[in-house]
Structure 1
Amino acid sequence: MAATIASTTSRNAWRDELRDTLALAWPLILSNLTMAVIQATDVVLMGWLGARPLAASALGINLVFAFSLVCLGLVTASSPMMATALGAKLRSVREVRRTFRQSLWMILTVMVPIWLILWHSEPIILSLGQEPALAHDAQTFIHGYMWSMGPFLLFQAMRNFVSALERPGWVLAISLIGILFNALLGYGLIFGHFGLPALGILGGGLASSIVWTLLAMMLGLVILTDGQFRRYHVFGRFWRADWPRYRKLWKIGFPIGLAMGFEGGVFSAAAFLMGLINAESVAAHAVALQIAALSFMVPWGLSQAATVRVGLFLGRRDPIGITRAGWTAWVLGVGFMALMAILIWSIPRELITLFLEDTPENATVIGLGVSFLAIAAVFQVADGAQVVGAGMLRGLHDTRVPMLFTFVGYWAIGIGIGAWLAFSQGWNGQGIWTGLAIGLAIVAVLMVWRWTRRDNLGLTRFR
């Protein structure tokens, strides 16, 4: 009888965790998807300009993206710290406010030097072996797009705050508005509609900067006016230094930033390696990567939910809850990506032609994109496993060793094998994507291995 009751209680606990994880994750997933759709809209609009503007903007986006991911990792450190404080409930309002405030200080610390670098991006792109004309156009795009980084990071910091309070619905609502804003403003500034100037490739970048500024302002207004958020006074006494918390954020966030930079940077590096082949390969890579990125938004949202849920149970000193929270998110993420692998494998051409018109002029790019998606379908499951695994470990404040995993898997192995296959074995773009798939699989195995050994490694000792 006692065993039956214990079994029923266990099943109920897993069911409750599934419900709570989905309740937290689905707005995060949808807001991730809306952010990906905003970028996908940029890709579509640049595709309407032509294959070469698409290639140039892809080079620009990938350069900015590499910096953005490192900075996003720094800001991400605030999520498990706030969740753990809320789980412990000891002076949680003050602790959450301290963490949020110093995450804004981190954004200010990194933005000015990065903006200076991006303003002079053409020599960087040229040094990576790209065509001079593409490098010049990429810098033109960046001059409009680079200003989106500051408000984007501010939006993510505020998103971490509302997600730690398990109220991410506001993020979803505001992100949906961003899709419409970006489509209309991008269309107007690129092609000169709605009384706006026709700025071409510069207009596409500038539209994104304007849209992210508006979204950050909207979410900030919600935090200032909503009763549950307002009581934390997260913007109060912004000027007040808190060096111990600032250093702790860097200690946790810098490895996350490097890990995310290694992961996203390898795709950026792949784009520049494609540029050493030809412009058509860059354009095809941009489209195929955008499709893969859209499916990635789901396990990424589950990863963010896992970080919060694991962090909450860490604060509550509940090892069984930690186990349930981690594995629930992991199974959901891997299961979804398995379904996406089947979809991408089944209709690759149809997916590519959502972004590019099926015309003779685009035939080469479409053919390359289809071949890249065949490989992308294979690594979908590994991509889901590694990103949710990383989120689970971040909930335990474990960031340094996972950062090393990403460096070894993506750069020492993934990009190394990809470059070798592409240029020594004549596989070209397919070789680069094969290397990416191998790197993702290795990182996924390492992340899951570390999670299964979390108790032996001392990762669950309570703070």
Structure 2
Amino acid sequence: MPASPDWRTEARATLVLSLPIVFTNLSQMALALTETALLGHLGTEALAGGMLAVSLYFALLAPGLGLAFAAAPLQAQVRGAGRLVGGAGRGWVRGMRRATRSALWAVGAALLPSWLLLWQTEAVLRALGQDPVLAALAQAYARAAMFGMPGFCAFVVLRGFLAAMERPAGAMWISLAAVMLNLPIAWALIFPMGLGVAGAGLALSLANWGMVIATLVLIRRDRVFRRFRLLGRAWRPQPARMREVFVVGLPIAAAMLLEIGVFSAAALAMGWFGAAAVAAHAIAIQTASATFMVPMGIGQAATARVGLAAGALDAAGAARAGWVAIGLGATFMAAMAVMLVTMSPVIAWAFLNPADATAAEVAALGATLLVVAGFFQLGDGIQVVTAGALRGLKDTRVPMLFAALGYWGIGLPFGLLVAHVGGLGPMGVWVGLGVGLAIVAALMLRRWRTVSRRGLG
């Protein structure tokens, strides 16, 4: 049956909104990819140490990032409610400002404990049984990269504002510019200036702060955005609004911590198999993360589209927006699954210096892990888009429980079991990750079907 005009219109609107967000996400991922490639050419130990640092960095970024993501549904529903009353009055303008400002305050509070832990990266990793040399390299990266965490989270909050206003292209161009500048800066810091892994972390911090400063300048110079005065009286936190950010955002943060944490735990588990296994894991996880940025962007667009409809009390429109986004995400990830399975050796060697003595071993294992990653692409895409649609309805607690069950209750234990007892080694860990993602995707789809049928009442 051909799609109805409403469904076709929604698909076009979702694509128009999601494409700039997707390119923004890909640009963010390109920062990590380029630095991974540069560290790979520095040597296997540098790549492995950087991977351990990045794993811990993103796990500890999750609390702040989850609260930053909470701004998007709040901003979208405020704007949707403004549409419902024809945009009359300045109430919804104040609401957008308060949602943005409160999210920034909440992010700042959440990142302080993360900073304390990241400063002690070497001690944390050695306590977890990691190689002392790799742990020391990881600390050099983490201590330089941690200062960019507030900038990255602030950029996500401001990007949510632009998405709610249905004008996300500015954030895309800023992210692309950051990638273009980051590559030569990271190269200069790592190689000619001799900072090594610390140079990569410093380049990431500079890129994150550059993006948030550029976004603030964009908002300040735009005639429409300027009237929101997003940072007006920013020194005055609003406890009631911050509580709403925490209510919506803490389950998002917990779900992200569970998902990011399981991949971080997988990186640590790889450390038990040696530096080559960690380096191969770095190749596979960075590639899979790059493809993941597209459905993640579609999911962020779904948060805005569903939130706008929900704020306007349009239950049918909210359901339609969610299902369209899920279909788009699933289609893309099915294509990525084919690519990863058929091109895994080529992708693996792109990260490595052929002159390195361990490059052949890392490439072979990396190609194997990429094939495994190909088989869980579809589940990964479905779960992240569906989570985005649920966030548009401020439904965040149940998805958090699904993440706990799928990733930690089933996926990781199963992966460790088949890796060690089943004799699959590093590949077994990735098999467990795929199982966990498939379970979470199935549970998320069932939840969306139930919630979207229930309506907004």
Instruction: Name the CA distance, whole Å, in 1 between partners of 2:244 and 2:436.
Output: 30
| Structure 1 residue 102 corresponds to structure 2 residue 113 | no
Task: Select the residue among 223, 235, 252 that pairs with 1:227.
Answer: 223
| Structure 1 residue 336 corresponds to structure 2 residue 332 | yes
TM-fit CA distance, 1:461: 2.7
| Structure 1 residue 397 corresponds to structure 2 residue 394 | yes
Alignment check: 8 A CA contact 2:390 2:396 kept: yes
| Partner residue, 2:283 | 287
Q: Which amino acid aligns with 2:424?
A: W
Note the 1:301-450 alignment, pairs <5 A: 301-359=297-355, 361-450=358-447
| Partner residue, 1:298 | 294
Instruction: Name the CA distance, whole Å, in 2 between partners of 1:322 and 1:266.
Output: 31
Instruction: Name the CA distance, whole Å, in 2 between partners of 1:219 and 1:62.
Output: 27
| Structure 1 residue 261 corresponds to structure 2 residue 257 | yes
Q: Which amino acid aligns with 2:33?
A: A
Q: Which amino acid aligns with 1:117?
A: L
Instruction: Name the CA distance, whole Å, in 1 between partners of 2:62 and 2:278.
Output: 21
**SS of equivalent residue, structure 1 residue 397:** coil
Alignment check: 8 A CA contact 2:74 2:99 kept: yes
Instruction: Name the CA distance, whole Å, in 2 between partners of 1:138 and 1:171.
Output: 30
| Structure 1 residue 81 corresponds to structure 2 residue 74 | yes
**SS of equivalent residue, structure 1 residue 77:** helix
Q: Which amino acid aligns with 1:29?
A: V
* Cα RMSD for the two superposed structures: 1.3
**SS of equivalent residue, structure 2 residue 376:** helix
TM-fit CA distance, 1:455: 5.1
Give unpaired runs (5+ residues) of structure 2. 86-90
TM-fit CA distance, 1:409: 0.2
| Partner residue, 1:42 | 35
Q: Which amino acid aligns with 1:77?
A: A
Task: Select the residue among 43, 50, 60 that pairs with 2:53.
Answer: 60
Instruction: Name the CA distance, whole Å, in 2 between partners of 1:164 and 1:455.
Output: 21
Give unpaired runs (5+ residues) of structure 1. 1-6
Distance 1:141 1:251, change over 3 A: same
| Partner residue, 1:172 | 172
| Partner residue, 2:88 | none
Instruction: Name the CA distance, whole Å, in 1 between partners of 2:51 and 2:172.
Output: 26
Instruction: Name the CA distance, whole Å, in 2 between partners of 1:443 and 1:163.
Output: 26
Alignment check: 8 A CA contact 2:62 2:253 kept: yes
Q: Which amino acid aligns with 2:235?
A: W
| Partner residue, 2:133 | 133
Q: Which amino acid aligns with 2:54?
A: I
Question: Among the aligned pairs, what percent are the same residue?
Answer: 42
Alignment check: 8 A CA contact 2:64 2:108 kept: no
Q: Which amino acid aligns with 1:368?
A: L
Note the 1:134-213 alignment, pairs <5 A: 134-192=134-192, 197-213=193-209
For residues 330-372 of structure 1, the C-alpha deviation after alignment (integer angstroms, 9 at most, x for no partner) is 0000000000001111110011111113455301100100110
For residues 155-204 of structure 1, the C-alpha deviation after alignment (integer angstroms, 9 at most, x for no partner) is 11111111110100001100011111110110000111xxxx32111111
Q: Which amino acid aligns with 1:461?
A: L
Task: Select the residue among 37, 44, 51 that pairs with 1:51.
Answer: 44
Instruction: Name the CA distance, whole Å, in 2 between partners of 1:455 and 1:333.
Output: 18
| Partner residue, 2:23 | 30
Q: Which amino acid aligns with 2:435?
A: I
| Partner residue, 1:248 | 244
Instruction: Name the CA distance, whole Å, in 1 between partners of 2:181 and 2:146.
Output: 18
Q: Which amino acid aligns with 1:240?
A: R
TM-fit CA distance, 1:113: 2.5
TM-fit CA distance, 1:209: 0.7
Instruction: Name the CA distance, whole Å, in 2 between partners of 1:282 and 1:420.
Output: 18
For residues 45-64 of structure 1, the C-alpha deviation after alignment (integer angstroms, 9 at most, x for no partner) is 10010011000010001001
**SS of equivalent residue, structure 2 residue 358:** helix
For residues 14-61 of structure 1, the C-alpha deviation after alignment (integer angstroms, 9 at most, x for no partner) is 111111100100000011001111110010110010011000010001
TM-fit CA distance, 1:316: 1.1
TM-score, length basis structure 2: 0.96
Q: Which amino acid aligns with 2:61?
A: S
